[in-house]
Chain A
Amino acid sequence: MEDAADMVRLVGRMINIPLSISISSLELALSTLRGMQKVITAEPGTTNADASQTATPPIIHGAPAPSPAQSGQAQPAPTLQADSIRDTYNGLAAFVVPGMDIWSAAQGATSSEPGAVSTHVADVMIGVLDRTVPSPPQAPPSSAMIASLLNQVAQKVNPSAGGNFASDFSKLSFREKVAVFQFIEGDPSMQPFKRIGGLLAFFVAFIFYSEASAFDFATHRLKGRPAGWVATNYNGDFDGSCQFKGYFRDRRHAEKSTDCA
């Protein structure tokens, strides 16, 4: 999308996304997921909160998905359509920064203000992943591979999730999306990709809250107020502020120490 082009150019200059993932091992993991019979559940009670907070109940779904052949051979990779890829990253964007869009509504976590979906974060993520995470020849682009990972884990979390989305991940509730990341970050089979969960959220937040949505790459100026700045009540495009109040206890200089070890 043209609106996202400047954003992709801006964000694509960032350091090589430090995923350090091997696409070939991602293919293997995806194959393993397709052959997996179990339904993924969230582990109960292992929260970081104080004891006063209640434990999270496990997510349990209906019958497991039909088991594939037990040959041990890799299942052929379903080809993700562009719609499905973009749909997946919209579901991700809504998960990290909910808004007023249909992906946020479907997950049951919304906001009264525009979220990351509204600022084309999905297109930026696709563009940046494809540009900065190398994919071997003949393999699908990196954005498609990572979207496949999210969708295939999503199928295991809730195989019967409904909704008019091309992406299985986008059909999930917010808590079910949490289970997806919990699995990716915690299951031994996902060891090479455990970083993906945190990094994907990091990039969605970084892109949304930055100047990216209003940055004019040609002029290196803003063409409006970025959505993330509106969301945070921030206006930082100035050379100075009126914040100088003096020196704490009127002390402008530190003293030399008289005690020296």
Chain B
Amino acid sequence: MRDVIVIGAGGGGPVVAKELAARGLDVLILEAGPRFADPEKEWSHYEIDANGGYLRFGPADLSKPAWFRDLPQNSALQQLSGVGGTTLHYFGNSPRSVPGVFLNYQGADKDNYDVAHIFPFTYRELIPYYEWVESTLPVETAPMGTKEEIFLRAAERMGLPFQETKDAFKAGFRPQENAILQPGGHAGKTMDPALLMYPHSKGCTFCGHCMQGCYLPRGAPRNLKAKRSTDNSYMPMALTADVWAHGKRATLITDAFAVKVTTDAQNVARSVTWRIGKTGELVTEEARVIVMAAGTVETPRLWLNSGLPNPNDQVGRGFTDHFSDALGGLLPFDGAMSKGPGSNARIDFPGYGAIEQFVATPAFSGSSATLSDAGIAGYYNNGVQEQGSGADVVGRVVGKELRTIMADIDRVLTVVVLTDDDVEAQNRVTQSFAFPPDEHGPVPRVEVHQRARTARTIRNREYLNRQAVNLLRAAGSYKTYRFNFPPTMIHIHSTMRMGLSETDTVVEESGEARWVKQLYIADNSSLANSVGGANPTLTTQALATRTAERIFQRYFGGDPWVAKESPVSSVAEAVTQAVQQ
């Protein structure tokens, strides 16, 4: 019998796989989407070719349509399949969560968070796991280009403090802590393709294409690609754990969509059944421990489709998404807004959320300007009342106004708002009743009650928008736009959440499911809340590391390691040699 089956090779699954493979366990990791074994050949820098083409939530066979999700409201859902999952197009932003969303936080602002849905352990307890992951990925302070300098100087002019530590206790601005290798050699200093090859360039080359998947520098071994999405970091380590560690290499099967988790009569997890995309064949394998890491939508879907117990009706509930928004400011000078990493600068407002800079690329910027469900700017608002962000233009931008804002992409300072949004039971993932099942079973329905959020969530979003407009003006913008997004689900979490109470949680603080033993969750869905508006991946990965320890202790008789060992970085020479073998 296999020791562990991990379902999903996205942000969290490879973390568990690597940690347990390094301990010598026999680990199988299943991934529904493509392998992406040779991204230099398979990927490009083009926006539609990437997002919708090879980066999508769909089968490994790119000629087949993407998988369908039922979204009964005006919203957009951004998730990816394939090894790396949604980290494939993420910006590597790896801030820690704000401390205020954890147990026993005693700051003066302790009532300013989602206090009904805090993590069931302290922030201090998670720090060693943060440090472990930060060393493994690794996470490094983001370098500065023209657009970053504009953002950071504007934050200075706003009078905000400069944050120098990794822990956001107070409002402050800083370069991002990113899972992106800092530039070395000619990187960031040349456009010459020959000099941009590894080893002449190392780390981030400032290409501006984080959103299309990172395969640079060309010629670099997979584990030395600049962005530390899990396909470049944790997965190579998991697959070579017998070389750089005294472990056992994990087995990876792609094009394998898990369709059922089965249990025995005592509600102990026993096996996983998956469907091979190419043939339609169903395969079942048993394991001592099963880890669900298919993501905030697919993990509850798999749970429900498997008929696993749900006695408190919490599976799928509590969906949080940072109720994001975006703003643009027109600058009277060239700000190089399309060049360089996706997001290298941020401002944290603990208790409210965060705002961060966003690279401007034509299709994403143009379509973001048209995304609003709050009517066409200057004409109607669909009943969505603007609450005083101060922006000059609010809502969907079309026609000549769209041409105006898009006339020179390098002069559009773009900022994204990440709201510290409350967990609400009404926002949830269920099985769709409106659409028929697909080849994997009932399709998921992702229901978000549009703008009927808690007063705190709304307050936070409007506060961050005002701050963002202030930033745009401090940067020199002569015209400001607030696009007023509908639910745009880029960061999604907390649908299989942990927490203090059995009545509103699905997993224990160890990550183990409350009603099914030997079944764990290790993706964003197990987060207790929206981590205060921080980009969630680092917290998920720290939690997944902790969950891996719990699995090893409880079911394999082992000892925890984070407190007493030093992590091996995914860019260590031993890993590079292992990857190149």
Contacts and interface: CB of A to CB of B under 8 A. Distances in A.
Given A14-B52, A111-B403, A174-B399, A234 B338 contact: yes
Category for how many chain B residues contact A: 35 or more
Interface stretch (B139-147, B245-253, B542-550, B564-572): B139-147
Contacts of B102: 261
Given A231-B407, A233-B410, A182 B375 contact: yes
B386 A18 contact: no
Contacts of B157: none
Given A198-B486, A242-B188, A252 B400 contact: no
B238 interface: no
B209 interface: yes
A49 B394 contact: yes
Interface in A36-57: 42-43, 46-50, 53, 56
A242 B189 contact: yes
B188 to A, nearest CB: 3
B143 A236 contact: no
A202 B143 CA distance: 33
A13 B362 contact: no
A115 to B, nearest CB: 8
Interface in A7-34: 10-11, 13-16, 18, 20, 22
A174 B401 CA distance: 12
Given A48-B386, A233-B409, A260 B123 contact: yes
A215 B46 contact: yes
Interface stretch (A91-99, A144-152, A153-161): A91-99
A48 B71 contact: no
A196 to B, nearest CB: 10
A254 B177 contact: yes
Contact of B57 (A15, A53, A111): A15
Given A181-B376, A233-B409, A241 B208 contact: yes
B240 interface: no
B145 A245 contact: yes
Nearest to B386: A48
A211 to B, nearest CB: 4
A243 B336 contact: yes
A198 B450 CA distance: 15
Contacts of A229: 362
B363 interface: yes
Nearest to A204: B370
Contact of B395 (A48, A232, A241): A48
B182 interface: yes
A59 B395 CA distance: 20
A248 B70 CA distance: 44
A194 interface: yes
B377 interface: yes
Nearest to A238: B191
Given A185-B382, A260-B167, A261-B106, A240 B207 contact: yes
Contacts of A181: 376
A236 B378 contact: no
B392 to A, nearest CB: 7
Nearest to B62: A13
Interface string A209-244: 111100100001010000011011110111111111
B167 A259 contact: yes
Contacts, number: 314
A204 B52 CA distance: 15
Contacts of A18: 69, 71, 75-77
A222 B191 CA distance: 18
A244 B52 contact: no
Contacts of B73: 195
A206 B48 contact: yes
Interface in B182-220: 182-183, 187-191, 193, 196, 201, 205-209, 216-218
B317 interface: no
A18 to B, nearest CB: 5
Interface string B522-563: 000000000000000000000000000000000000000000
A48 B402 CA distance: 16
A239 B218 contact: yes
B48 A261 contact: no
Nearest to A192: B72
Interface string B85-112: 0000000000000011010111100000
Interface string B359-372: 00111111101111
Interface stretch (B158-166, B228-236, B273-281): B158-166
A111 to B, nearest CB: 5
A83 interface: no
Given A14-B56, A209-B366, A245-B146, A96 B399 contact: yes
B175 interface: yes
A109 interface: yes
A252 B68 contact: no
A96 B206 CA distance: 31
The 4 closest A-B pairs by CB, nearest first: A244-B188, A14-B52, A243-B145, A240-B205
Given A14-B53, A96-B370, 10 more contacts: A18-B69, A43-B380, A49-B394, A98-B399, A185-B373, A231-B406, A234-B338, A239-B196, A243-B206, A243-B336
20 contacts: A13-B52, A15-B56, A20-B70, A48-B394, A56-B380, A115-B403, A181-B376, A185-B375, A198-B371, A205-B363, A206-B366, A208-B366, A236-B209, A236-B362, A243-B147, A244-B189, A245-B145, A245-B149, A247-B175, A261-B107
